[in-house]
Amino acid sequence: QSVVTQTPSASGTPGQGVAISCSGSSSNIGRNSVNWYQHLPGTAPKLLIYNNNKRPSGVPDRFSGSKSGTSAFLAISGLQSEDEADYYCAAWDDSLNGVIFGGGTKLTVL
């Protein structure tokens, strides 16, 4: 069964940087684009990074994405209180023949 794994939680203080990881396999992250979403409770998820490292218009350059092999990473620099949210990675999975989401990482800004 295809699985994409994220660390359940991460934290940092204002101004710091933090990295969130996303681990998959050759059927998903290893050969397909990774996208990242920011989800604040009670709101619609927001596309944060697409195609591994591209930022949609309006997303601050404090957010950056990268991919290496079957893992992907979301880096946030200069943490702000409004960055406190759940972050999800997602990718197409060739075995599933569909989109698979990671379990999500809850980011706390201390």
Contact with another protein (CB under 8 A): which of 39, 63, 71, 75? 39
Q: How far apart are CA 101 and CA 35, in angstroms?
A: 9
Q: How far apart are CA 72 and CA 39, in angstroms?
A: 18
Min dist. Cβ of residue 19 to another protein (A):
19
Q: How far apart are CA 72 and CA 34, in angstroms?
A: 7
Task: Decide if residue 38 touches another protein (CB under 8 A).
Answer: no
Task: Decide if residue 3 touches another protein (CB under 8 A).
Answer: no
The end-to-end CA distance of the chain, in Å, is 36
Binding site for another protein (CB under 8 A): 32-33, 35, 37, 39, 43-47, 50-51, 56, 88, 90-92, 96-104
